[in-house]
Structure 1
Amino acid sequence: MKFKRTSAGFAAFLLTMPTLLVSAETQNTVEDNEQAGEGAFDKKTEVVYATLDAAGEQKDLYVVNNFTVSEFGEITDYGDYTSIQNLTDLTPIEQQEREITLNAQEEEFYYQGNLENRALPWDFDISYTLNGEAADADSLIGQDGELNIQIDSSKNADGEALFFNNYMLQITLTLDADRFKNIEAPDGTIATAGKNRQVTFTVLPEKDESYQVSAEVTDLEMEAIEIAAVPSSMSIDAPDTAEVKKEMTSLSDATAEVNNGVGELQSGIAELNDGTASLYDGSAQFRDGISQLSQNAGGLNEGSASIQQAINQMSESVGAGIDDVDTSQFSELPGAFRQIAGGLEEVESGMTDLSGSYEQAYHAFDQAIAAVPEHQVSEEEIAALYESGADEATINKLVESYQSSLAVKETYRQTQEAFAAVPGALSGSTGALREMSSQLYSIADQLENGLAATNMDESLGQLQQGLATLASNYSEFHSGLTEYTGGVSDLAGSYGELHSGIGGLTGGTEKLETGAGALYSGTSELASATSELPDQLQEEIDAMLSEFDKSDFEPVSFVSDQNEDVESVQFVIKTDSLKKEDADETEEEAEEEKSFWDRLVDLFK
């Protein structure tokens, strides 16, 4: 340490040299300053230097001001500095409260201003854990274990928001590769710089962020964490969205086509529902008519049986002899025949009306079924629709309606023959009834004419022969009538099940129409939403890019809003390093604490 003490002594000796030269220089500078005219500068830059402790708490803050001088002379600057220092020459700088006057005689002029109680635009919180336990930064020096460092950056409510909103931070940790192993930084970039590893994080404007670094450390020592803040000038090219927009346009067109198809499906189902409703009404009339006919069939059979019995009795009586014949019964026969014929005519009229209603309802039903689309949609197309991002509930309704429409058409295809056979059966029945009523009227007329023109006493033989023929023919008619009424009863019993099926079909098509309406509303909404997808995509991209586009930012002074022509303001921020104290440095610090006279005395020891 003798050399160091000698150097310190020599420095102290220099301090005892005459100060006349310095005084003369100062006097000349003052005179030059008094004679200096007004100066000018083209631009000014500010570099804000700040120091933080290892936990991120702000300590010292000063600003280095740089002027690009265009005309030498006096320049006025503003700042609430506690002290200032000329970094260019020995010219003194005058400060009156917030106004600073300097004599710039160099093209590039620098001076430093120290600030107190001035907040940075950002808050930094740095925390440490070793082996899972929180630890104070200074206590970690020289330690081994699993180290985790968390750095939180957020907006400082007391700072200038303009810089927070427009500046990008770069946080850099320099780690000795001999001490730090297995370094991990999930949101950072790790690079090699000589024997060190540099971990870098980037904080975008207007963002609060939290970053972590973990490593296995041995004999921990760490350089200062450095933070640089500069205006965001990220150049982000707009992505090529032509292909994506093309696909979205295809999706939009596809959903529009689906919506149109669902609209057609809804119209077809509505027609189908109207047709099935008409069919159900006609079927109800047919059912009621058949049921009434079936109910009256017993009386019709009994009446016909009575007529047959009466004819047989008359034929037998005539055959037995004229004395035993009650001719008064003959006059009642034409009226009875006409009464039965009239009943058959009423049944025929009801069945004719029923046949017309059924044919009308069946025609509407057949057209409605034919209008239901038969588009074949593959499983791959359905899967693609699910993967398109459309509303899944809407797609489920669409698929169910599609499957139901196919099921309705297939069911109708299998039962169409039975439906088509009904009009023919009804027509045949009405024809048979018309023929029977006509025969009864003819019999009544012939019988009545015969009774009026015949002398019973003279023509009893002919009458007996005619009655025998009538009895025989009427027996066949009665058998046919009995067979017909039996068929009507069977038809009435079985048609009830068919009518119930038609009712179920009508209820199903009604629900199907309601579901198709809801589905059409959903696909219309989906088509409307997807029609704007390409434009919405571009708007979102533009909005995202605008967040990072700070091209319209105009720099302002960090120190005072009175300062003009500020070209740039930068921030250089450093934390305390985590280092072991050096023995020589400790001894030097102890020596520096000695007074001037102590060091002068030590010089001669």
Structure 2
Amino acid sequence: MKNKNKIIAIALLASFSLSALGTPIASAAEKSTPKEEVVYVNLNDNGSVKDVEVVNIFNTDKAGTVTDYGNYSSVRNMNTTDKISYSNGKTTIDASKGRIYYEGKQKDTTIPWDISIGYFLGGKEYSADEIAGKSGKLKIKIKISDNKDSDDNFYDGFALQTSVTLDTDKCSNITASGATEANVGSDKQFTYTTMPSKGADIEITADVKDFEMAGISINAVPLSLEIDVDDKELTDKVSEMTDAITKIDDGAKSVNDGAGELKDSVKGELKDGSVQLLEGAEDLKKGASELKGGTVQLKDGTVSLKVGAESLDSGISSLDTGIKTVENGLKQLNEKSETLTGGSAQIKNSLITIQSALGGVSLSTDKLAELSSASSQIKSGISQITSGIEQLEQNTSFQAYEAVMAQNGLDVESLRQSNAATAENITLTITSLQSQVETLKQVGFDTTELETQLAGLSQVAQLLYANNLCIDGTETYLNQINSSIDELLAGAKNLEEKYEEFDSAINELVDTVGNLSYNVSVLADAINLLVESYGQFDSGLNEYTDGVATIVSGFNKISSGCITLTNGSKELYSGAKLLDDNTSLVVDGAASLYSGTDSLNMGAKSLDEGVEKLVDGAEELQSGTAKLKDGTKELSDKTDGLDTEISDKIDEMIDSMTGSDVELKSFASEKNTSVNSVQFVIKTEDIKVEEPEEPKAENKEELSFWQKLLKLFGIE
């Protein structure tokens, strides 16, 4: 009965020790598994191994011999009085039926993990004995790594659970990154779990006062978990991703083909169009320069016409004044004729005076010839003006303008058609390029500069349309001027016709005055005769008055013609001034057109340079899409079957994490081939302020650690 109680107490003791360390003890082995191992490792304060003890546990269905292996310096039966013997690494127990525990103390203290522990206060490292009872800013560093001198089977297959317990009465402001924190009475327990094949690098800080702490414990158990991962959803998503990658690869091929077409289009039609536009702009600039020169010549001609018309108007005004003066004199003379015929009595009395006066009258034929010659010159001048206006009419029409431009190498109609065709081509090109720009945007190409060039190209098209409007306006304007010149020409011809009548009147006047000279001579003879014969005098006097009336009548016609001539000259001057003013507008328009063609030329050059850059960009785009296509092809090839690989990799990772692919071995000896479980209990001593030593009783037996535990439970 006492023996049975002892076995129960030992089992409870082992269970308590393991639960206190934070690692549950393994359940009783199945009948087919004859052995379990619990490896107790006592560490020094710096983490080095002090000693290693292996507790071997057997279940026996019946009494018999238990054989076990291990390199021990000593062995001890822990729960029975069965005979145990050890020799050359072999332990033999004459076991009774039931559960048997025996302890073997390892000769070799090598364990699968290298463990180092450091205590720092104020940046200075202390040993456990030195730091006990101190106060300040504490830092505890624990580093666990693979011991290359040990069998990796345990490092790769066992998980670690490291526990550090701190008294909150002595420790505050605790930081323990990555730890699981638990309250254990007034203590705080910080637990770190390390997976198989992984090391640990732990750091804990705290503000401490009169520092003490329980020992650090590290439990190691094989991590063999039954994990059933349903990765179907993941592999389905991966399959969707690989399908999407395939579509991306197909899209990359399409993008590459589109980039090739874009490059060919840009290199072909757009480049040809920009070259044609540049050439057209050069031609347009040349034509505008010639038009500018022609309008300057036209301006010089209209200025000369205006000056001539102004001089003619001034001369005709002077002529009109002189004619009116002569006309007034003749009217007065005609009015005096009535007095001459008033009464023969007065005439008779005045005959001698008249005879004397007529003797002093001299009508010079030279003056009459000068008058006739001057009138002929005026007539010739008016004829020349009419001829000049006719030439002006011929030279100011739009057809004449086109002829002048053609003589200078510019076909205005062809230019107008070329402008319209080029503007239409540019508009079509812009429409085509805009859709391509949208395509470039969709593939991430920066199209800011290209859009700026397209805006400039649109302005070029608008300028070409404006140039045609300018040509149309020039045609309308010149036709309007031509129409005005037609009216001027009609006035000039009317003037010429009226002056023909005036000139005829002048000639009649000359003839009349010439006749008058003759008649005056006759009159003188008549007066001489009148002295002798009153009747002859009366007849001569009547002839005289009739002659005066004829002169007055002729001068009336001259005056009327002069008025028409004056009005015509004023119309001629007004028309010449209007033509000069409008020609100034033509000159300004031609200068603006030339300036515009210069801007057009610069814009065409910028467009051509932009097209060159676009060609380079299209080639780079095609090169990039080719690389993209190669990359997506490589990505598609490498992701083919990725769902299967991921599923296999997940299984592999789970096996690696859980240690399920590691075969369980005996730590004590590889000769132990039937091992159900192995676990490690690793611990440091508590850090405590040393109590003053009490005098030792003489001959008092020194108890071991396990003897103290047994005594604690009342087991002798």
Q: Aligned partners of 2:155, 2:59: CA distance in 1, in Å?
A: 27
Following superposition, the deviation at residue 397 of structure 1 comes to 11
Whether 1:505 and 2:607 are equivalent positions in the alignment is yes
Equivalent residue, structure 1, for 2:181: 190
- Kindly provide the CA deviation profile for residues 88-122 of structure 1, in whole angstroms up to 9, marking residues without a partner as x: 43333343423333333324333222212331111
Equivalent residue, structure 1, for 2:275: 281
* Residue 670 (structure 2) aligned to one of 558, 561, 564: 561
- Kindly provide the CA deviation profile for residues 262-306 of structure 1, in whole angstroms up to 9, marking residues without a partner as x: 9868855863564431222112332444466578789999999xx
The 3 A distance-change label for structure 1 pair 538 and 374 is farther
Q: Match of 2:609, as an amino acid?
A: G
The 3 A distance-change label for structure 1 pair 423 and 92 is farther
Answer yes or no: is the 8 Å Cα contact 1:66–1:111 preserved in 2: yes
Q: Aligned partners of 2:421, 2:469: CA distance in 1, in Å?
A: 14
Question: Equivalences for 1:130-145 in 2 at 5 Å?
Answer: 130-145=121-136
Q: Aligned partners of 2:412, 2:455: CA distance in 1, in Å?
A: 35
Whether 1:53 and 2:44 are equivalent positions in the alignment is yes
Whether 1:573 and 2:682 are equivalent positions in the alignment is yes
Q: Aligned partners of 2:405, 2:130: CA distance in 1, in Å?
A: 122
Equivalent residue, structure 1, for 2:436: 372
* Residue 169 (structure 2) aligned to one of 159, 171, 178: 178
Answer yes or no: is the 8 Å Cα contact 2:215–2:685 preserved in 1: yes
Answer yes or no: is the 8 Å Cα contact 2:214–2:686 preserved in 1: yes
Deviates more, 1:295-304 or 1:537-546: 295-304
Q: Aligned partners of 1:526, 1:237: CA distance in 2, in Å?
A: 36
Q: Match of 1:190, as an amino acid?
A: E
Answer yes or no: is the 8 Å Cα contact 1:55–1:126 preserved in 2: yes
Equivalent residue, structure 2, for 1:27: none
Gaps of 5+ in 2: 1-30, 299-379, 385-402, 476-584, 704-716
Q: Aligned partners of 1:157, 1:246: CA distance in 2, in Å?
A: 41
Answer yes or no: is the 8 Å Cα contact 1:269–1:372 preserved in 2: no
Question: Equivalences for 1:227-306 in 2 at 5 Å?
Answer: 227-233=218-224, 271=265, 274-290=268-284
- Kindly provide the CA deviation profile for residues 439-494 of structure 1, in whole angstroms up to 9, marking residues without a partner as x: xxxxxxxxxxxxxxxxxxxxxxxxxxxxxxxxxxxxxxxxxxxx999988875653
Deviates more, 1:259-268 or 1:126-135: 259-268
Q: Aligned partners of 1:295, 1:134: CA distance in 2, in Å?
A: 95
- Count of residue correspondences: 470
Following superposition, the deviation at residue 507 of structure 1 comes to 2.9
Following superposition, the deviation at residue 128 of structure 1 comes to 0.8
Q: Aligned partners of 1:87, 1:147: CA distance in 2, in Å?
A: 40
Answer yes or no: is the 8 Å Cα contact 2:69–2:90 preserved in 1: yes
Percent of aligned positions with the same letter in both sequences?
26
Q: Aligned partners of 1:293, 1:248: CA distance in 2, in Å?
A: 68
- Kindly provide the CA deviation profile for residues 521-563 of structure 1, in whole angstroms up to 9, marking residues without a partner as x: 6876887799899999888867765542322332111122222
Answer yes or no: is the 8 Å Cα contact 2:456–2:607 preserved in 1: no
Q: Which has the higher helix share?
A: 2
The 3 A distance-change label for structure 1 pair 282 and 543 is farther
TM-score (norm 1): 0.60
* Residue 446 (structure 2) aligned to one of 392, 397, 401: 401
Following superposition, the deviation at residue 571 of structure 1 comes to 0.4
The 3 A distance-change label for structure 1 pair 592 and 89 is closer
Answer yes or no: is the 8 Å Cα contact 1:173–1:226 preserved in 2: yes
Q: Match of 1:553, as an amino acid?
A: V
Answer yes or no: is the 8 Å Cα contact 1:50–1:58 preserved in 2: yes
Answer yes or no: is the 8 Å Cα contact 1:372–1:405 preserved in 2: no
Answer yes or no: is the 8 Å Cα contact 1:290–1:488 preserved in 2: no
The 3 A distance-change label for structure 1 pair 222 and 409 is same
The 3 A distance-change label for structure 1 pair 426 and 212 is same
The 3 A distance-change label for structure 1 pair 540 and 263 is farther
Question: Equivalences for 1:377-526 in 2 at 5 Å?
Answer: 401-404=446-449, 407=452, 416-419=461-464, 494-512=596-614, 513-514=618-619, 516-517=621-622, 520=625
Whether 1:548 and 2:612 are equivalent positions in the alignment is no
Cα RMSD (Å): 5.7
Question: Which has the higher relative contact order, 1 or 2, with Cα contacts under 8 A spaced 6 or more apart?
Answer: 2
* Residue 152 (structure 1) aligned to one of 143, 164, 168: 143
Task: Specify the SS of the correspondent of 2:446.
Answer: helix
Gaps of 5+ in 1: 1-39, 305-315, 321-338, 376-394, 431-482, 595-605
* Residue 203 (structure 1) aligned to one of 188, 194, 211: 194
Equivalent residue, structure 2, for 1:362: 426
Whether 1:117 and 2:108 are equivalent positions in the alignment is yes
Task: Specify the SS of the correspondent of 1:42.
Answer: coil
Q: Aligned partners of 1:525, 1:546: CA distance in 2, in Å?
A: 36
Following superposition, the deviation at residue 230 of structure 1 comes to 0.7
